[in-house]
Structure 1
Amino acid sequence: MGKLTALKIRSLTEPGRYSDGDGLFLEINGKGAASWILRVQNNGKRQDIGLGSSKAVSLKEAREAAFATRQKIAQGIDPVAERKQERQVIPTFRRAAEMVHEEHEKAWKNGKHQNQWIATLKTYAFPKMGDRLVSEIEGPLIRDVLAPIWLAKPETARRVRQRIGTVLDWSYARGFRTTEAPMRSLSKGLPRQPKKDNHFAALPYASVPDFMEKLGARESVGRVALEALILTAARSGEIRGATWSELNLEAALWTIPAERMKMGRVHVVPLAPQAVAVFERAKKFKAGASDLVFPGQNVKKPLSDMTLLKILRDMDLAVTVHGFRSAFRDWVAEQTDYSGEIAEAALAHTVSNKVEAAYRRTDFLDKRRFLMRDWSAFCTKARDRPISKQVEAAESGRS
């Protein structure tokens, strides 16, 4: 039986707390306003929980609310967190995806990736789950989104799955969901995908010299950029975003800043004479309003990735731009005696062995000078054989 009665409550006017028992209090403040407070022990800590104004909540309702709250605590439920979540506006999957994209796109270095990230969700996920609240999305719905493309477009399907998972995990972290994304169980509801080939379609290295000759038969900013990409073994984004301030043609060096590199580290590219000549030819495309070596139609923006790919398609080649890096790597392995470490450094790949990476203090710049001269000589038919033996001579001269 409680200590308070409706009659007694009406007679209370002095500020203070008046106990009804079992932690329930009527609190009157200095202005005469009264509200119900429940004092509990939650996870070993004392906690005061408001149950509402006495004008809106009667004594009987306050006791019922206090009893229900104590029951939830006994069951391991945090009533304050539960109430906060109820007040929170749960977004739809569409809105949550847009918020995730807005938060993360500045950290993504690749503009193409920024656009593709949200575009794949718009195309494949939004039609079926875009208007559903993130709190309602479970495994069966995700499976229904992925099933039509799981075998037909396996790589796209994997990306969609990963991006759906990112949105739902973000929603869980924000308190919009009670669980993380249910992605593990999806594999049981979808057929096994065929093993994927991780290699980019590449032109065989033996065909690169003839390709370079055909490429140089016509002059355009895209063709010159592709020549530079091949002779430096650079990534498409690195060459398209190259600026004149990064180049020192007298020293035959191209220094790419960390923010433009995939691995987030400065990369210095030694330029062979043929590569220097290509960059010299690029000066004819220089625009006063831009520092870009290979400007696009809008001179303040670099060439698009599709510009380079279109050159290959116009030449009836079913290969990728990135594949020239594979051709370079195969050539090093099969036609030279340079070590794999030097080739990987030329490609700006990270050292997979963490212990080795921690102790390596060199980027093999001197050896890479000879490597890139050999590669450029091969690509331009300037020499029948590589000159990798010069590396040994250079090392001998130092000792």
Structure 2
Amino acid sequence: MGHVVIVGGGIVGLAVARELLARGSQVTVLEKETRWAAHQTGNNSNVVHAGLYYKPGSFKAKMSVAGNQSIVEYARANGVPVEVCGKLVVATADEELPRLRVLAERAEANGVPAKMIDPAEAREYEPEVACVAALRVESTGIIDFPGICGALVRELTEKGADLRLSTMAKAIRPGRGGGVEIATGTEVLRADALVNCAGLHSDRVARLAGLTPSAQIVPFRGEYYELKPERRHLVRGLIYPVPDPTLPFLGVHLTRMLDGSVHAGPNAVLALRREGYRWRDVSPRDLAETARFSGAWRLARKYGRTGVDEVLRSLSRKRFAASLARLVPAVGPDDLVRCNAGVRAQALLPDGSLVDDFLIETAPGQVHVLNAPSPAATSALEIAKYVADRVAEAK
């Protein structure tokens, strides 16, 4: 469809640009930061997810299973580091076994290669792990997602895309003769269609474009530690807990990175600004926006105790280490060094429920990706196909 302007230069925005370019569109990508992949893409765990957690038939299930293959193939074709190492999801107590079996059934339903194993088999993969049973998932991997973005940028540049850093969409309005106009502060771009991949600001960009989005972004910070170099031998690959289905996040886990370091985390605390990577990152505007949103208060009432526990774990290395020691008992507080944090753009509904699936809404000449947290990076090339289809329809 003619000229398409994409707002947001993370992995989803760049993947959408690549797909649209391949379909014959002229593409402009606007990124407000001075570099690509500056936020969610550049501050995540770099895990290629297998797709076992998600409801069968959902966007997340279908796109992550397909994306698990397509993103690995893209990495290998473009010289981006990737390792398909597999992972263990471990039950550390008998009461977790039914949930682990449900997870195994979901993996089978989603077409994810996984098998139940006993503690002795689990220790063949991870000698230091403690469990009563585990699920071995073969297709999980580790990848350099910023490297993927670098490859996408090179490909887009070679094929003639207009890529603009330090360029914010400040106003959006219908074009006088159709299409859409985007003001950047220095010029007005005229396009046939707009795609919003703005991540942490996706709801704001939607409102800027005249849409009333069904959900609002609430930012959650995920904080990480890493094991000291002399303790990295405790973890060979990826070790995850059995997730609690009543909670929205997966829980702290251990991940061996491509460089051999072992990351531990993340927890999940409310960020005090949309790009709040530290406790001292506070935005009165962002806080006021969250405080005015009824869904945030309903979420707080529902998960109040969990939220308190997450904050306490954020403030206490001892508590953080205790969570990890359930998986690998040899891990202690003195083994941990604080490292980077990420912020998850989580869409929240007015009734206080977290949007569980990818959320993409359309208007004439517009496509808005309003909820694309993990596993969006894994699924980026698949999300791009879906969005490109919607662009073709959104006339």
Q: Give the TM-score normalised by the residue count of structure 2.
A: 0.26
Q: Give the TM-score normalised by the residue count of structure 1.
A: 0.26
Q: Which has the higher contact order (CA 8 A, sep 6+)?
A: 2
Q: Which structure features the higher share of helix residues?
A: 1
